Amino acid sequence: MAAKKWMTVAATAALVPALLTACGSNSNNSNEANAGSNTSTNANSGANDSASTEPVEITILQYAPEMTESINKLAADYKKEHPNVTITATIHQDDYPTLLKSRINSGDIPDIFMTGAYNENKTYQDYVYDLKDEPFMKNIVPTALPGVTLDGKVLGFPLVLQSHSFIYNKKLFADAGITELPKTFAELEDAAKKLQAKGVIPFSNGYKEWWVLEQTFTQVLASMGGDYAKTFDELNSGDKKLFDIPEASNVFKLIDLTTKYGNPKPLETDLNSQVALFAEGKAAMMHQGTWVEDSVRKLNPNIDMGFMPGPVGDDASKAGLMVDSNIVWRVNKDSDHLKEVLKFLEWMTTSDAGKSFIPVGTKQISTVASAPFPDAQLSKETQTFLEGGVTYPWVKGYWPDGFEQKAGEILQKYIAGGASADEAEAEMNKTYKTLAEAAE
């Protein structure tokens, strides 16, 4: 099977400076946000038509609960200008892929729905509108488009550039006498012991969330480097098993280390609890990304935090930061309100309120060329890594549909004692092979 599109480390490094330059130019809950919109745009599907006064509801289904407040504001800002259209956003984190597919299979497809990029283009291509000819897509930094492009079609609206690794509390590290950031497992354990000696929980582990573990696995896996496309072609064709990649097994060592020096009951700790432990200064590290900064600062506005180059084994030179544009809004091609949806997306890329949604509302880096750069510590640290550090793409873009969640769930079973490392490896190998064959 041909490899799904994905960027090499070099290509990721090319993507991000372009976004940074452009920007510099100017839990398991379901939540609903209501506001409204009707606008006039240059969109291909009748955006030049005069504005309608008929009531319209645009529905959005997505994960990323940290965006709830920002979407509320976005919708309210839109309604001020376009009072006849209501935007209703449902945000659901737990088991989101299953919910989305259930909605699609039942024909209850929202006007806009969130997915990942890359391999998910193929998964949802039959249901989404091709944005290739929409003029507002010219407002997106071109290097953010490969992740939403399949066979010449632009199948999604890339929302944000994100990064993840271990986030650490700089004051707690200094108080524990940690003067150099750990870059190997041995150094990470040494730092954990120093923190523990100061009465601080080294790791806040939100392992109730399967995606936190999947995320941890991708960081370890990406450290293999080399030709990702070739490697995953071999995996997806069945010529190689997932754990034939030597670096893959390091995930168990990393999980063992974080649970040994982590909070009690990690499998009962969700995202909100993980963030709270860190923000309140009870824990010094957590494996998370740029998307949590706003939540952390609501609990502790003055916290001084940063990204560690994530240790992935015994080679310090491979410690790095995961960076990519992998959150996408997709447009239902059969939406009853397609013109209004396209007008809304045009407004997202041209109005001050729309362009501020990501960098101001979520404190992350926008893919809109003229959006402001976020006043956020983790985004600024991402910029520093990209200017002189080690970065990796989110290699899950090569995985067959469904493996992302399955990988996290198998690692949860390992933590619970329901599988040994060898048994978890075997199950992940088998699951990957099954899903890859199904994708043929």
Residue 183 domain-assigned? yes
Residue 124 domain-assigned? yes
* Same-domain status, 307 and 185: yes
Number of domains in the chain: 2
Residue 48 domain-assigned? yes
* Same-domain status, 148 and 243: no
pLDDT of residue 144: 87
Token pair 């649970």: residue:
259
Residue 379 domain-assigned? no
Rounded CA-CA distance 287/391 in Å is: 16
Residue 6 domain-assigned? no
* Same-domain status, 307 and 195: yes
- Its sign, for the CA torsion 293, 331, 101, 399, is negative
* Same-domain status, 237 and 366: no
* Same-domain status, 351 and 420: no
Q: What CATH number does residue 194 fall under?
A: 3.40.190.10
Residue 380 domain-assigned? no
Residues 6+ apart with CB under 8 A from 340: 37, 38, 39, 52, 56, 58, 85
* Same-domain status, 142 and 195: no
Rounded CA-CA distance 38/7 in Å is: 37
* Same-domain status, 303 and 243: yes
3-state SS, residue 30: strand
Which residue, of 334, 349, 373, is where some domain finishes? 373
Q: In degrees rounded to 5, what are phi and psi of residue 391?
A: -130, 155
Rounded CA-CA distance 242/253 in Å is: 17
pLDDT of residue 18: 53
* Same-domain status, 75 and 105: yes
Phi-psi group of 363: left, alpha or beta (phi > 0 → left; psi -120 to 50 → alpha; rest → beta): left
Q: How many other CB atoms are there within 10 angstroms of residue 303's CB atom?
A: 18
Residue 102 domain-assigned? yes
Range of the domain at 288: 163-323+387-438
* Same-domain status, 134 and 153: yes
* Same-domain status, 361 and 288: no
pTM: 0.79
* Same-domain status, 57 and 41: yes
Rounded CA-CA distance 58/55 in Å is: 10
Residue 3 domain-assigned? no
* Same-domain status, 312 and 333: no
pLDDT of residue 52: 64
pLDDT in tens, the chain (440 residues): 333 333 334 344 445 555 555 454 443 444 444 443 333 334 444 343 435 688 999 999 999 988 999 999 999 999 999 999 999 999 998 789 999 999 999 999 999 999 999 889 999 999 999 999 999 999 998 878 988 999 999 999 999 999 999 999 999 999 999 999 999 999 999 999 999 999 999 999 999 999 999 999 999 999 999 998 899 999 999 999 999 999 999 999 999 999 999 999 999 999 999 999 999 999 999 999 999 999 999 999 999 999 999 999 999 999 999 998 889 999 999 999 999 999 999 999 999 999 999 999 999 999 999 999 999 999 999 989 988 899 998 888 889 989 999 999 999 999 999 999 999 999 999 999 999 999 87
Q: Angle at the Cα of 289 (from 268 to 227), degrees rounded to 5?
A: 110
